[in-house]
Amino acid sequence: MFLNLCGEMDCAKSNETYWQTAADPDVAGIGIILSLLSMTALSHVAFVVAYFSFGLPQAAYTTLDTLVVAHVRSKWFRLAPVPAEPDDLRRARVAGFEAFILSLSDQSLIIGIAILVAVFTQLCSISTFSMIISSDLAFFASSAHLLTLVALREYFSARGRERWLRIPCMVALVALLRAAFLLRAFAADPQKSLACAVQSSEFYDLSYELSYWVAVTFIFINAYYRFIPQGSKGHSWPTGGQARMQIRPWISNVLTGRHPGFKQEMKCYLVEQAEKQKDGEIEIIDNWVALYQSSYSPCLVYVL
C-alpha cells in the first residue's frame, strides 16, 4: 500500500544520486539538530538545578530524595543541607522553575510531532538517512518531554484541562514514533530513498520492534495510572497497584500467545535455579513461580 501511494519510481536512478544529498536540511539539517540538542540539554540542566536547589514542589521529594540532596549540597557545594528561607520565597522559586520547565516541555512535544509530520509528508521523496536522523531526533525530543513531566507532576495534577489537552498530543507522538521505527525496520540502506529502500527490502523479523513497543506502551499506561490524581467528580481512578493488577494479565496473555512454551520454560528455569541455591531459598523461588502462575507479568517475575 505504501509503494502504491508513491506510484512508479526509478529506484536505480535515485539510488545513484541520493547518497550525494542524503541529508534533508528541513528535517535533519545542522540547525535542527543543534537547536534540539540545545533545548534537550537545557531541559536536563534546568531539572538538575531545580532538584538540588529544592526548586521542585515538596511532593516531588521523598525521604531518600531529601537525604541525597542534603548530602550533595553540604559535601559538594558547601551549602546548607536544607535552605533556610521563608515559604513565600520557596514558592516563588518553585513557580519560576515550573514556568521555565513547562515552556521547554511544550517545545519538546511540539518539535517531536512536527519533525515526524514533516517526515511522513515526504515519504516518497525523503532519503532513508534523513528519515533515520529525524526519527532519532523525535525520540530524543520525546525523552526530554518525559523528563520535564517529572517536575511538572503536581502542576498538571491541579490543572485537569491542560492535562487532558496534552494527552492526545503525547499519544500522537508515540503513534508517529511507532510508525517511524517500523519503517526503519524495512529501510536499512541509508544511500537509498526511503520508498526504494522499503521496496527492495526483504522479509524482516519484527519481533524485536513489537516487543520493544509493547514494553513502551505498558510503561506509558502504568506510569499514567500511577500519577493520575485520585478521585475526580464523583469517581475515583485506580491506584498504581490496582492498575498494574489489571494490566499484568493482559501482558501475560500477549507474551504467552506469542511464545506458547514460555510459561513452562520459565517455571523449569526457576526450579533449576532453586536447586542450585541453599535450601532456605527454594521456598522463595517457589513463591515466584506461584506469583507468575497467578498472572503476574512474566517480565516482572524474570527480573525478580
- Determine the 3-state secondary structure of 188 from DSSP: coil
Residue 18 above 60 pLDDT? Answer: no
Residue 165: predicted pLDDT: 87
Residue 116: predicted pLDDT: 92
Q: What's the pLDDT tens digit per position in 189-218? A: 666 777 777 776 655 556 666 777 777 777
* CA–CA separation, 130 and 201 (whole Å): 18
Q: What is the pTM of this model?
A: 0.65
Burial class (CB in 10 A: 0-12, 13-18, 19+), 32: buried
* CA–CA separation, 81 and 79 (whole Å): 6
Q: What's the pLDDT tens digit per position in 114-158? A: 999 988 888 877 888 888 888 888 988 888 888 888 888 888 878
Pairwise pLDDT comparison (70 vs 13), residue with the higher score = 70
CA angle at 123 for the pair 208 and 40, rounded to the nearest 5°: 65
Q: What are phi and psi of 127, to 5 degrees?
A: -80, 155
The count of C-alpha atoms lying within 13 angstroms of the C-alpha of 36, restricted to the half-sphere facing its C-beta, is 28
Residue 231 above 50 pLDDT? Answer: no
